[in-house]
Amino acid sequence: MRKVFCESLGTELTLPDKIEKIVSLSPTATEVVHALGLSGKLKAVSTYCVHPFDWRKKVPVIGAYQNIKENLLKEINPDIILTTTGYQRDFALKLSEKYNVYTFALPPTVSAIIASAAELGVALGVPEKATVLQKEYTRQLNAFTPKENKNSPTVYLEIDLGGPVSFGRYSYITDAFRWLGINHIFQDENCEWLTPTSEQILSKPIDYIIYEPKMFSSKNRTIDELVKYFTSRRLGELPAVKDRKIIITPSKNDFIAHHGPSFITNVMPWLSENLK
């Protein structure tokens, strides 16, 4: 057995030397478990664990962010449960009364995504594999070396999270824009995320709109739909709307909103390519 301290919960876990049964309630953790070669140890995941997508139906869905099938959890009796902090912290604390729960913080920067992957690898008892992952993700991140360019595009990113949400300076998404040399209209807002008003959006110069539809939804997935949608919000006079300079993310699942390693390996190259 080994002792692992979970800094974000302030709890000490007693874990087996070799983890055999993992329950993940975090899409990021699930993706990292796969990257570490431990997918065979996953016994249940949350309904939002869709990365990698071709694997998601191979294990039971045990719950969502704030609820869980307690009978199934008791039957599995996992060695460890993986969650994030933020909106899952209180839920994680409750679960930690009966189970080994390891949480990791939501990333404020792209580099923190790499750090979280390495941290999970250490907690799961495979530090050597964690170091290999850390080196590879760092190599891919360092491949983005944009030059200072006064003509860099200015974008407005909107993600449908049950309503329009954008992101300020304390988000890994805004940090990624900085890495790529892209200006985001709310990059100087002192917050992680915000629900912008039409007036806030109209007050900014915008070259492109990047739009991510609500996860699992079929709405707002064409340019025509989005022109009507933005016009209904009094944003039809934006040049990006009138000129149809709207870029829709390429997945029915979360894409930019997902803060796992594929944000570095898939999302950032996609942003770079589409906003040249």
- Same domain (yes/no): 21, 123: yes
Say yes or no: 133 and 168 in one domain.
no
H/E element, 95: helix 89-95
Per the CB < 8 A criterion, the answer to whether 27 and 46 are in contact is yes
Is pTM beyond 0.85? Reply is yes
Residue 241 to residues 33, 68, 210, Cα–Cα distance (Å): 40, 42, 11
Q: What is the pLDDT of residues 205-230, one digit of tens each?
A: 999 999 999 998 888 789 999 999 99
Percent composition of the chain: helix, strand, coil (DSSP 3-state, to 5): 40, 20, 40
Distance CA 229, CA 178 (A): 28
- Check: CB of residue 27 under 8 Å from CB of residue 215: no
Query: Alpha-carbon distance 260 to 136, whole Å?
Result: 14
Q: Is 80 a member of any domain?
A: yes
The confidence band for 148, taking pLDDT boundaries of 50, 70 and 90, is low
Domain limit, last residue, from 141, 162, 181: 141
- Does any domain span residue 148? no
Residue 147: pLDDT over 70: no
Q: Residues with Cβ < 8 Å from 162, sequence gap 6 or more?
A: 214
Residue 191 and residue 215 in one domain: yes
Range of the domain at 15: 2-141
- The tally of domains found in the chain comes to 2
Q: What percent of the chain has pLDDT over 90?
A: 81
| 54 contacts: CB under 8 Å, gap ≥ 6 | none
Per residue in 155-175, pLDDT (tens digit) is: 999 999 999 999 999 999 999
Q: Give CA 111 to chain center in angstroms.
A: 13
Q: Residue 52 sits in a domain of what CATH number? A: 3.40.50.1980
CA-nearest of 225, 155, 158 to 195 is 158
Same domain, 9 and 131: yes
Whose tokens are 């478990």? That residue is 33
Look at residue 176 and tell me if it is in a domain: yes
Is pLDDT above 80 for 149? no
116 touches 264 (CB < 8 A): no
